[in-house]
Amino acid sequence: MNEIREIHEAAIKFAEENLTLWARHGNPPDEEDDSSTVKKTGNTVSRIVAKLKGLKSAEWSQINYSTIMACRNNKNIGKAVKIRGTFKRLDEDAPVSTGNSMADILRFEFQDERGDVLRTTRITDSRLQKDVQEFFGEYLSLDFYGTIIPEWQGLNAKNKWLYRFFLIHVHPSEDPLSMVQATREEIAEAEKTVSAHKENDGDLLSYIGTKLVEAIRIKGLDEAPQLEQALRFALFQSLSDGYSSNGKISYKLHSLVIGSPAVGKKLLSEAASLLNPVSKEAHPSKITRAGIVGAATNTSGQWKSDPGLIPLAHRGVFIVQDFHHVKNKGDLMGVFSMVMEDGLVIDATAAKQAHHALTSIHIDTNRLSHLHANDSSPQSPTDQLLDVGITMNVLSRFDFIIEIPRNTARQLEIALEMHSEPVICVSRPDSGSANKLAET
């Protein structure tokens, strides 16, 4: 950390020396003055970057994530900066003279999770170029390691200097701990909690479940065994991850919850969102195949697939509440089946691109027969399954299917309690009512 502190102190001094130049955007200095300052800037940046390149992984891990808006200022020049984001646009490779030879250069723009965009300086390092080209379009979330430096734009530019990102490393940020952007303090607190439970032979899952119930502020869970069972599965679902040894089978778990309004289905969606490092949700009346898979865009004559909600939830969960309101259910079944089996989605439009989608699917729905008061519930097991509006090939891939029975009297009680105090209550099922549906 001393080395990082030294770099930061040098950067502050460097920034202070150049503040007067940056303030003169409207009054261009003479060309000779600019030339010497640019040269001085380049030499200083070279020294700073050389130190940053020497930082080890453990030292980078001690640096908290930043946003583009927060780091794009003179105080961060030369300071080690780590940003979570995605590639936005890759410039075409171009040759540049480097002494007696020519070298290819590239640069790109990337976007953080708030939507702010930052452009890199020229990248001439062939190893780094290879990483950028390999990761572009392949991974949705990456960690960009580097620093902020000023880049000279020329005498005729409106802004003589602009902040750019000097890239030192780039890595896919697909492990859950990186995805949640945990701070050092949060990681230390979590490790302390885990250690305490190990020493006392405690049930860590039960502890997490208790904290989850407190966070969502549920009441009456002891009277709702189906909901309690579903919440426990949500814990296991959030821990599911990875592919088979041959990389062709997804090990993510998937859940389907059936029930009338006010039985607690929404709580399970909220739990899934809280427990997973990333979650995406589609509105039932707006969901489309392109929206959950990806849509093709053409940039400079090249087709590229912008990932949809399911690949954007890679290593997390994709949620659809009130699935019974979805009109185009048939268009989605093939997508769901591929995600559940292969952990992939394929954009079959002009881009013809596959996206990683190691994504759990969580769906809640009403029975189709319950949407109309006069409809009677189907009796045979096969008809009961078809009554949820999901094809058998997809139903058979759900790892957990449960039905939470409705209880009109209890639902009225819940509604009154929800209006009288700011907590969430859950429905208590009638005794002897339907239990968990058999896995198909």
* Confidence category of residue 211, pLDDT binned at 50, 70, 90: confident
121 pLDDT more than 70? yes
Q: Which of 32-36, 141-145, 434-438 has the lowest mean pLDDT?
A: 434-438
Q: Which of 246-260, 317-331, 382-396, 411-425 has the lowest mean pLDDT?
A: 411-425
Q: Are strands 255-259 and 360-365 parallel, antiparallel or unpaired?
A: parallel
429 pLDDT more than 60? no
The residue ranking higher by pLDDT, 13 or 351, is: 351
pLDDT one-digit tens code per residue, 131-190: 888 788 667 788 899 998 877 777 777 877 788 999 998 987 766 777 777 777 888 888
Evaluate whether 359 touches 318 at the Cβ level (below 8 Å).
Answer: yes
Q: Which of 182-196, 232-246, 264-278 has the lowest mean pLDDT?
A: 182-196
- Average pLDDT, stretch 82-95? 80
Mean predicted lDDT score pLDDT of the chain: 77
Evaluate whether 292 touches 309 at the Cβ level (below 8 Å).
Answer: yes
Helix (H, G, I), strand (E, B) or coil at 307: strand
99 pLDDT more than 90? no
Residue 107 C-beta-side C-alpha neighbours within 13 Å: 12
410 pLDDT more than 60? no
**Domains with residue ranges and CATH for the chain:** 2-173 (2.40.50.140), 201-425 (3.40.50.300)
Give the pLDDT of residue 233.
Answer: 94
* Confidence category of residue 236, pLDDT binned at 50, 70, 90: very high
Give the pLDDT of residue 296.
Answer: 82
Give the pLDDT of residue 304.
Answer: 75
From CA 163, how far away is CA 160, in angstroms rounded? 10
**Residues forming beta bridges with residue 45, ordered by sequence position:** none
Task: Specify whether the backbone of 232 is left (phi greater than 0), alpha (psi in -120 to 50) or beta.
Answer: alpha
From CA 254, how far away is CA 377, in angstroms rounded? 25
Of 184-188, 291-295, 366-370, 414-418, give the range with the top mean pLDDT: 291-295
Give the pLDDT of residue 292.
Answer: 94
Q: Which of 207-221, 296-310, 353-367, 410-424 has the lowest mean pLDDT?
A: 410-424
The residue ranking higher by pLDDT, 26 or 38, is: 38
Q: Which of 41-45, 107-111, 224-228, 404-408 has the lowest mean pLDDT?
A: 41-45
pLDDT one-digit tens code per residue, 281-320: 999 999 999 999 988 887 666 777 888 999 989 889 999 9
82 pLDDT more than 80? yes
- Average pLDDT, stretch 314-329? 93
**Residues forming beta bridges with residue 320, ordered by sequence position:** 282, 363
- Average pLDDT, stretch 400-408? 80
Give the pLDDT of residue 309.
Answer: 93
Q: Report the percentage of the chain scoring pLDDT > 90.
A: 25
Running DSSP on this structure, what letter comes out for residue 358?
A: -
- Average pLDDT, stretch 214-242? 84
From CA 112, how far away is CA 85, in angstroms rounded? 4
**How far, in Å, are 146, 269, 435, 436, 437 from residue 405 at the CA level?**
54, 18, 8, 10, 11
Evaluate whether 169 touches 120 at the Cβ level (below 8 Å).
Answer: no
Instruction: Output helix, strand, coil percentages for the chain, rounded to the nearest 5.
Output: 40, 25, 35
| Paired tokens of 264 | 């607690």
Find, among 358, 344, 361, 365, the residue nearest to 400 by Cα.
361
